[in-house]
Structure 1
Amino acid sequence: MAIVSVRMEDETKKKFETFCDSVGITVSAAVNMFVKMTIREDRLPFDVKGHSFEPLGKVVQAKDVG
């Protein structure tokens, strides 16, 4: 079993923990669900929009072309 460490703002972490508690899962379970769905669908399980993600789109397009 591997350990993954993620940096995020304290308030974001608190809000995510509160959400996970409200739906009855742990943060670890939620992250594992995200990773498994990403692998299964071979894409991020949500749409990525916005200027800050433009380079990611170019990488994906380059992968599709080449």
Structure 2
Amino acid sequence: MAQATFSVRMDESLKKQFDGLCQEFGMNSSTAINVFARAVVRQRKIPFEISSPETTISREGAMQAFAALRAEAKANGVSDMSTDDINKEIELARREAKA
């Protein structure tokens, strides 16, 4: 699949906060934006809310949040990403983080 660059301007403080929260979720900001874009296109609306009830998210908390998102995706009929698709996104995010 061909890749394209998407550039967004935002307040520096907001970017740092966003990057930190994405890291707590186990992804980089690029992967988070890709997840968001795919969901918006699939559902043709802003389909979900991502929130962090805690300042620091534990692994258990992250897994609970992930399980809740999976349940919401299933309930909304958008759980069509295969494990291979998800793993490719994770691998891409890890390569980008190392670069």
Shorter-chain TM-score tier: 0.5 to 0.7
State, as a whole percentage, how many aligned pairs show the same letter: 36
Matches within 5 A, 1:1-66: 1-46=3-48
User: What is the TM-score of this pair, normalised by structure 1?
Assistant: 0.66
User: What is the TM-score of this pair, normalised by structure 2?
Assistant: 0.45
Q: How many residues align?
A: 47
Larger radius of gyration: 1
User: As a proportion of its length, which structure holds more helix?
Assistant: 1
What is the distance in 1 between the residues matched to 2:47 and 2:28?
19
Q: Which has the higher contact order (CA 8 A, sep 6+)?
A: 2
**Contiguous gaps of at least 5 residues in structure 2:** 50-99
CA RMSD of the aligned region, Å? 1.4
**Local SS of the residue matching 2:19:** helix
**Contiguous gaps of at least 5 residues in structure 1:** 48-66
Q: How far apart are 1:44 and its partner, in Å?
A: 1.6
